Structure 1
Amino acid sequence: MVNVALITGGASGMGLAVATSLSQQGWAVAIADLNVEAGEKAAKDLSGTFHRTDVQAFDSLSATFYAVFQKHGQINFVFANAGVPERKNFYARTDGISGPPTGLDFIIDIDLKSVINTCYIAQHYFRKSPKSNKGCIICTSSIAGIYPVRFCPIYTAAKHGVVGFARAICKHFYENDGIRVNVLCPGNVRTNLFEKKEWDQFDNEWIELSQIVKVVEMMLFDETQFGQVVEAAPQNHYVIETPKYNDPNVKRTLEGPVVDSIGK
């Protein structure tokens, strides 16, 4: 059976670059995106399928997984990649407060909740896939998931959440179902998340999409890799270690038999 990849945010940027590379290697790619025009073009160019998907809506995301599984009978790789930037100024001065920060729900829904829902649904379909297929999930976070980025605090919170969530589930997923979960934390990749004038404000060396593909495929094809958080830089990549316990009581609490028994 041909390997099958389901990629959210797959119609452009990093998602499209990964989809293109996998298609060239004989994979069947399912593009999940809200942009119909770009998604249909990508699917046509890659001989894949396009699924109009609103990752904010659980039913829409679930329907995409169902359609892909019905067509192929398995899913091998899920790239939970859909994301949006934070465009509003969290620190803007106002005469009064009429509600929560602008864009709060939108950013959290797409950058964090959609990743959680994608992983939640993916485990179900990996278990339904042939036993030889254990499945791999790569969640897109950001350097904002590792470091504090003061100009986009809500985005930073969401991307830190992706890292924490993936670290929380990776051991259970792997030990119980053989599902490998890893996290991609890219730096500045010049995609359509921002307009040209916004990107031009940064005086940086950009990460080429080919470097992103290289890091993603390293985590995908190396079956020893799970629970990895990998920062992608222009010329290199770095594995970000999970913080060590400071107190032995905390370690006993979080790694003891009571915790291990949950979910079994």
Structure 2
Amino acid sequence: MEQQNSEPVWLVGFSPTRASWRVGQAVARGLGSTCRELDLTYETALPAQFEAGGWLVLCAPVYGGHVAPVALDRMAAFRGGGVRTVVVVTYGNRAYDGALTELADFCRQHGCRVVGAAAFVGEHSYSVAAHPVAAGRPDAADLARAEQWGREVAQRPAEELEASQLADRGWQPEVMGAFRQHVQQALASGRTVPPTPAVDAAFCTHCGTCVTLCPTRAIAAGHEEQTQADRCIRCCACVKGCPSGARTYDTPFSEALSTYFATPRQPDLW
């Protein structure tokens, strides 16, 4: 029977639709028996510095091949203090491109020793019933693998990883080219990429769920049928969380992603 590591673990992350957070929690469970959580999705303040004697799990989603910019902004003030760090990104089954390298570099610049890295699949922000994209991911198997991998990382020598090692292992140039061509043709035919989700006022009950879920305060209480375009990051947390189905986001990317990236990818682990 594997012995549970007793060293303290910090989990810090940005995760509007909770995919990154769920994976991060599973990794943290594997790393140690005690965990403190800081959810930066809603701008929780960071400690001045993390202690070198424990672990830090840093998790964030991939948007357009990069770590979500809001995530990096909210992590900007932290100092690692030499803490052993595991970086985790989640992406919608298309590609994580250079995002894992980006997050590892960011951590090293902030005083962390990156000793583990992982890319897991999470349901794409643009996944809808008609065009599912990694729907339901991370699933139970993903989370079990994340926890087991956390145990493996805790038991192996804490050797620092080179960020240049962390390239996307599943990059498919031909498929990516066909995907981009599909999107370009859709846009040329008149399809658009909306700046914000649409709201059907007939279904909106002004329950305030979207206000609570929005990580950038783009939706104001009492005005739930509106979204501030200059604040919206199109994470679609409001769409996925609306209990009455009043919010939708119709983009040609949904059909293209569902068409070209239907084959489930598995976690990449370092």
Same fold per superposition (TM over 0.5): no
Which structure has more RCO (C-alpha within 8 Å, separation ≥ 6)? 2
Q: TM-score, normalised by structure 2?
A: 0.42
Q: TM-score, normalised by structure 1?
A: 0.43
